[in-house]
Amino acid sequence: MIQNKDSSLLTEANPIPFLDNMKKEKHIIMFDENPEYSKKIQFHFLKNGLEKGERGIYVMPEDEDIIEKEMKGYGIDVEKYKTENLLDIYHTTHTSQYPQEDPFDNLLKIILPSDSIKPCRIVGMLDFDKKTRNGMETFLRSEKKSHVNFENFDGSWMCTYSSSDIEPENRLNWVKELIKSHDSVIFTSSKGKGIAFDIK
């Protein structure tokens, strides 16, 4: 159990059962210290939604063909869901098409066209240089903006980042601030374990 400021208790869970027991739409942040296990969690999150007829959107800095192959290995019928217009896979470079605008707005322009099917589940990361203070400040502003607008979003969103990529001098405070802009948190460790819990 983890205790927060108001002395209420937060119940920890294994990430996979945690996702299986989601009762409502959530804005989730995952701090990824085990890429292989974290990807399993990401795909499980998407698969749960796809099987319910929700749209799945995956935005990561990896080649789309490689992602499709990995999704198939996890049991996601990529061709079926793409044919049904329920699955889209993007490289994060797609979100840089409107460099003059806010990065969060850029992301929404790419992944949520006007004719989008809803509700949807998104797994993604905003494309920032998180190793610098300025990059982290911009990143944090976008995450806060995304959370303020989340109640108007029809679906669930999983943001995933490696905590080791976050500017080191003030890393703990950055993590604390990022957590405040989400409903739930998942941590994965290099030892292949993970925990998940709601904070709101």
Distance from C-alpha of 131 to C-alpha of 138, rounded to nearest angstrom:
12
**How much is the pLDDT for 5?**
41
175 Cβ partners below 8 Å, 6+ apart?
Answer: 31, 163, 166
Cis preceding-peptide flag for 119 (omega within 30 of 0): yes
Distance from C-alpha of 65 to C-alpha of 169, rounded to nearest angstrom:
36
pLDDT along the chain (200 residues), means of 10: 42 88 92 91 96 91 92 97 92 60 65 64 81 85 80 85 87 91 91 85
Among candidate residues 50, 107, 37, 100, the one with its CA nearest the CA of residue 79: 50
**How much is the pLDDT for 145?**
80
**How much is the pLDDT for 111?**
64
**How much is the pLDDT for 104?**
66
Distance from C-alpha of 23 to C-alpha of 117, rounded to nearest angstrom:
20
Torsion of Cα atoms, 168 then 172 then 173 then 177, to 10°? 110
**How much is the pLDDT for 61?**
83
For residue 166, give both structure tokens.
């976050």
63 Cβ partners below 8 Å, 6+ apart?
Answer: 91
Q: Are strands 9-10 and 55-60 parallel, antiparallel or unpaired?
A: unpaired
State the number of CA atoms in the 13 A half-sphere of 115 facing the CB: 2
**How much is the pLDDT for 78?**
97
Rg (CA), the chain: 16
pTM here is: 0.84
**How much is the pLDDT for 12?**
73
Contact (CB, 8 A) for 185 and 28: yes
